[in-house]
C-alpha cells in the first residue's frame, strides 16, 4: 500500500514529529470549570501510544470577554491541566500543539466582524476597532503562555467560519473599514494576529493555521474559485509568519479545481510552499459530514488509505490529520501501519458520537467537529 513514508519523522521549526499522522482537533471535552481533566490528558496519551505523532488540541478559548465557548479555556486555573496534557503526550513520544480558538459570532450573543455567521445569519455584535486590537493582543499573549506551559507549537483556528475566518469570508464580513472590503482588508485581522503571535513566541517556535474550503453549515463553500485566487490568500499568511497550513476539506480526495485531481491540501502546499497537513474524512468509508445524518461512520477505509498513501507519496501534503477514525479507534494508526484492518473497531453510531458513551474504559463526552 506504500505507507512506509508516512511513518518517517518530520521537522518544523526544530520540532520533530515521529511520523506524519496528526490527531485532528475535535471539540470533545466539556471539562468542569473549563479546566482539562485527567481523562482529557489520558485521552491524548491513548492516541499517541496508538501511533499519533502530533496532537493538535481541541479548539481552546482564550481569556477575553468576547469569547463564550463552553469548552476548555486557556486561563490561569487551567494551566496545570494543560501541563498534564503536554506531559502525557511527551511521555508517550509525541508532540502537541495548542489550537487557539475564538468562535466569533457563531454562538448567540457572540462578537464578530459584522456579528454574522459564515452563512450571513446575525447572531451577535460587530466588534469595535478597540476590541479587535484587544483580541489581537490576546492571541499574542495566549501563544506566549502556550510556549511557557510547554506546548510544542500553536495553531490559530482560521477555518470553518470561526472568528479569523469570519473576517476572511465575504458572507460574514460586511465591514467598510480597514478590516473589510477587498481581500487585503478582510485578511488584515488574521495577518495582524499572526504577526503578533510570531513576535510573542520568537522565530524558533512553530505557528500553524487551520484554513478551510468549507464553512460551518456551508459544506460546499469554495471561497476561492481559481488557483490564482487561492495563491493571493496564501502568500500573505506565509509572509506574516505562518510555518504550516492545516488544510481542511470535507473529503481530502476531491479535486479542488477543474483540470487537476489535486485536492485542497495539494493546492495549498503547491501554491504556498509551506508544510501542509491534509484533513478531511481520512480513514472513513463515508465522508465526515455524512456520518452526522443518522449513518454509521466506518473506520476501515482501506481503499481510502491507499488513496491517502498515493497522494502523500507524490508530494501532495506532508502530514495527515485523522479525526473521527482515531476517536473511534485509539490504536488506529498502529493498526493501519501493521495492516490490521480487520482488527479495527469498525463503527460508531451518530448517537454514540453525539452522546456520552464508555469507550476503552473511559468516558468519551459529546463530540462536535
Q: What is the pLDDT of residues 153-184, one digit of tens each?
A: 999 999 999 999 999 999 999 999 999 999 99
Question: Given pLDDT bands bounded at 50, 70 and 90, which one contains residue 360?
Answer: very low
Distance of CA 90 to the CA centre of its chain: 20
Q: In degrees to the nearest 10, what's the CA dihedral of 349, 355, 360, 363?
A: 170
Question: Model confidence over 329-354: pLDDT tens digits?
Answer: 999 999 999 999 888 876 655 554 44
Digit-coded pLDDT (tens) for 252-272: 999 999 999 999 999 999 999
* Count of domains forming the chain: 1
Here the CATH number for the domain that contains residue 253 is 3.20.20.70
**Residue 49's closest CA among 366, 335, 359, 348?**
335
Tell me: pLDDT of 299 over 70: no
**Which residue range is the domain that position 158 belongs to?**
4-364
Strands 73-74 and 54-56: unpaired
In a domain, 369, yes or no: no
Q: What would the DSSP string read from start to end of 305-331? A: HHHHHHHHHTTS-SEEEE-HHHHH-TT
pTM of the model: 0.91
Is the pLDDT at 63 greater than 80? The verdict is yes
Helix axes of 227-240 and 183-201: crossing angle, nearest 10 degrees: 30
Domain assignment present for residue 318? The answer is yes
In what helix (H) or strand (E) does residue 90 lie, and over which residues does it extend?
A: helix 79-91
Least confident range of 162-171, 283-292, 308-317, 325-334 = 283-292
Pairwise CA distance, residues 125 & 163, whole Å = 12
Count other C-beta atoms under 10 Å from residue 33's C-beta.
11
Average pLDDT score over residue span 97-105: 96
The cell for 165 is 475566518
- Residue 91 included in any domain: yes
Sign of CA dihedral 329, 331, 337, 343: negative
Residue 76 included in any domain:
yes
Q: Give which of 289, 299, 310 is closest to 342, Cα–Cα.
A: 299
Q: Does residue 289 have a pLDDT over 80?
A: no
9 CA to centre of own chain? 20
Give the bridge partners for 320, in sequence order.
21, 278
Amino acid at each position: 500500500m506504500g505507507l512506509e513514508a508516512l511513518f518517517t519523522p518530520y521537522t518544523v521549526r526544530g520540532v520533530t514529529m515521529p511520523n506524519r499522522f496528526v490527531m485532528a482537533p475535535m471539540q470533545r471535552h466539556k471539562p468542569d470549570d473549563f479546566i482539562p481533566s485527567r481523562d482529557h490528558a489520558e485521552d491524548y496519551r491513548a492516541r499517541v501510544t496508538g501511533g499519533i505523532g502530533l496532537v493538535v488540541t481541541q479548539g481552546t478559548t482564550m481569556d477575553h470577554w468576547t469569547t463564550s465557548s463552553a469548552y476548555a479555556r486557556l486561563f490561569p486555573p487551567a494551566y496545570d491541566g494543560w501541563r498534564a496534557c503536554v506531559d502525557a503526550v511527551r511521555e508517550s513520544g509525541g508532540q502537541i500543539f495548542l489550537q487557539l480558538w475564538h468562535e466569533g459570532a457563531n454562538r448567540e450573543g457572540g462578537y464578530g466582524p459584522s456579528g454574522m455567521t459564515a452563512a450571513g445569519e446575525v447572531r451577535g455584535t460587530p466588534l469595535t476597532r478597540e476590541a479587535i486590537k484587544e483580541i489581537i493582543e490576546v492571541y499574542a499573549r495566549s501563544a506566549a503562555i502556550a510556549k511557557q506551559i510547554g506546548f510544542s507549537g500553536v495553531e490559530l483556528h482560521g477555518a470553518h467560519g470561526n472568528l479569523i475566518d469570519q473576517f476572511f469570508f465575504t458572507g460574514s464580513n460586511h465591514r467598510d473599514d480597514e478590516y473589510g472590503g477587498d481581500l487585503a482588508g478582510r485578511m488584515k485581522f488574521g495577518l495582524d494576529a499572526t504577526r503578533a503571535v510570531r513576535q510573542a513566541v520568537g522565530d524558533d517556535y512553530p505557528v500553524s493555521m487551520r484554513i478551510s474550503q468549507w464553512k460551518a453549515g456551508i459544506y460546499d463553500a469554495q471561497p476561492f474559485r481559481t488557483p490564482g485566487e487561492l495563491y493571493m490568500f496564501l502568500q500573505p499568511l506565509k509572509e506574516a509568519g505562518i510555518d504550516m497550513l492545516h488544510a481542511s476539506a470535507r473529503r481530502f480526495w476531491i479535486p479542488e479545481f477543474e483540470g487537476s485531481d489535486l485536492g485542497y491540501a495539494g493546492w495549498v502546499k503547491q501554491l504556498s510552499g509551506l508544510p501542509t497537513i491534509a484533513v478531511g474524512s481520512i480513514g472513513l468509508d463515508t465522508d465526515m459530514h455524512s456520518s452526522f445524518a443518522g449513518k454509521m461512520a466506518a473506520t476501515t477505509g482501506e481503499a481510502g488509505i491507499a488513496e491517502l498513501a498515493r497522494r502523500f507519496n507524490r508530494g501532495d501534503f506532508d502530514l495527515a490529520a485523522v479525526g473521527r477514525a482515531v476517536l473511534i479507534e485509539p490504536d488506529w494508526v498502529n493498526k493501519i501501519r501493521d495492516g490490521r484492518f480487520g482488527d479495527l473497531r469498525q463503527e460508531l453510531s451518530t448517537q454514540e458520537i453525539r452522546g456520552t458513551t464508555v469507550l476503552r474504559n473511559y468516558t468519551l463526552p459529546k463530540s462536535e467537529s
